[in-house]
Structure formats: structure tokens, C-alpha cells
Amino acid sequence: MATPLIEFRNVKKAFGPKVIYRGLDLAVTRGAVLVVLGGSGVGKSVMLKMLIGLLRADAGSIVFDGAEITTMTERELMRVRQRIAMIFQASALFDSLTVGQNVAYGLEEHFRESMTASDVRERVAWALGLVGLPGIEEMRPADLSGGMRKRVGIARAIALRPEVLLYDEPTTGLDPINTARVNHLISGLQEKLSITSVVITHDMKSAFAVGDEIAMVHGGRVIAHAPAEQFRAIRDPRVHDFVEGVAPVQEDVETLLSG
């Protein structure tokens, strides 16, 4: 069996009294699209932020390509962030910058000494072309639709030519047409760039459209992880209810309401 590109091993994370992870174990296969499911507040975005060092794990091990993330200095983490790019839920574009300047932002931060201005312009044009938005460098984020903003956020990430893309709720707030467009884009980039992707989503249709593997987080741990075509067959009722959108039974509702 091939060595995973990314591994979380017994990772623990809490914010004060709120425990997010009690023992997170998860492996990400090199070259695959892993979809991570789970209810609101279970820590899916926290997982991604720990991987790139924006948040520190309280205990446990996070390994990327054989290197231990949890003990890295900020300088070492900067090199990791050249290889792992994150697409934030709200796109996180700078309204004061043009689209071209937004897409170039990471390049200028990480490759200022090795890329000329001409190199940056070419890379920006290449990235915008890959997401189906050629020639919009001079537009402003405020002039873009929600779907276009999502794609510009993806262009900014792939401009770095990373080995890993992390998508945090990439279809949230999009209509069905733009959701399908983003899903197609995720699959297309995987094919064209041969990268590894981790996709956080609540959208079950998107999960099965893009995922090679699917994992579910519940109660501070991963409770299920399987190839996409086998995931629906998992018998755990927590997985079944989430996938099928089944509401909690009455006693569970009463427990939630009682705090």
C-alpha cells in the first residue's frame, strides 16, 4: 500500500473547554480527491488550518510528505504553504485589488525573488484561463458574481502550482448551475494538474460528484473513511443519517434542546 501524502495521527485540538478533536486519525492518498463530511462546528476547517500551520494541534502528529508539521517553525511552514494552497469558503479576495493582483498575491509573497513581473503576469493569465475566466485581470472583485469570485479564489491557489489544494466549502452560497461548474472545475483540475485535493463540504451531491474517497468527522474523530462508491453502504447510522439527510430522532432533539 502506498504511503499517504498526508497523515493526521491521534491529533487533539480544543479551544478552551470546547474539544474539537479527541483523536483525529486520517490519511490522504497522494493524487486523490478526499471529501471530508461532518456537521457544522465539528472542526472540518480546523483540520485544514492545522495542516498548513494556521492553527497548532494541541497533541498528536500531522505529517506531510514525510515531514512533521506540528514541530515546524514559521519559516518552515512558509515552504509548506508553497506546496499546499487553501481556497477559503468566502474566497477571501481583496476588494482593493484587481482580479490580476489578487491572483498574483501568493506569487509575490512566496516567489518574489525568483519570478519576474512578466513571469507573474503569465502565471496569472494561465491560472485564470484554467478556471475559465481569461482576460479579466483588470476587473474588481466587486464586479464579479459569486461563482466568478469562487473561481478567482481557486485561480489564486493554483497560480502557486501547489501539490495539494484544500477547498473549504467551495460550493456554499452558489446556485445549482455554479455549484455544478465548481464541481466540474475541481475534477478537471485534478485531472490536468495531477494534484491531491481535500474538499470540505456539506453538499452530498458535490461529495459524490468529486470525491475519490469520503471521510466523515463526528464526535472529535473520523468515524468513517472509504472509497466514494462504498461510502453509501457503510452501516453506521450516523453516516447513513447524514448522507440521507435524516433528522435526529425525537429523543436526540430533546437532548439537544436541553443543552
Q: Is residue 194 part of a domain?
A: yes
| Position 237 in a domain | yes
pLDDT above 90 covers what percent of the chain? Answer: 65
Name the nearest CA neighbour of 101 among 130, 79, 127, 70: 127
Q: Look at residue 127 and tell me if it is in a domain.
A: yes
Residue 1 domain-assigned (yes or no): no
| Position 159 pLDDT exceeds 60 | yes
pLDDT value of position 217: 94
Residue 258 clears pLDDT 60, i.e. is over it: no
Q: Domain span at residue 113?
A: 6-257
Residue 221 is assigned to a structural domain of this protein: yes
pLDDT tens column, 97-130: 999 999 999 888 888 778 899 999 999 999 999 9
pLDDT at 234: 92
Is pLDDT above 80 for 191? yes
- Position 247 pLDDT exceeds 80: no
pLDDT at 250: 44
**What CATH number does residue 47 fall under?**
3.40.50.300
Q: Flag whether the pTM goes above 0.75.
A: yes
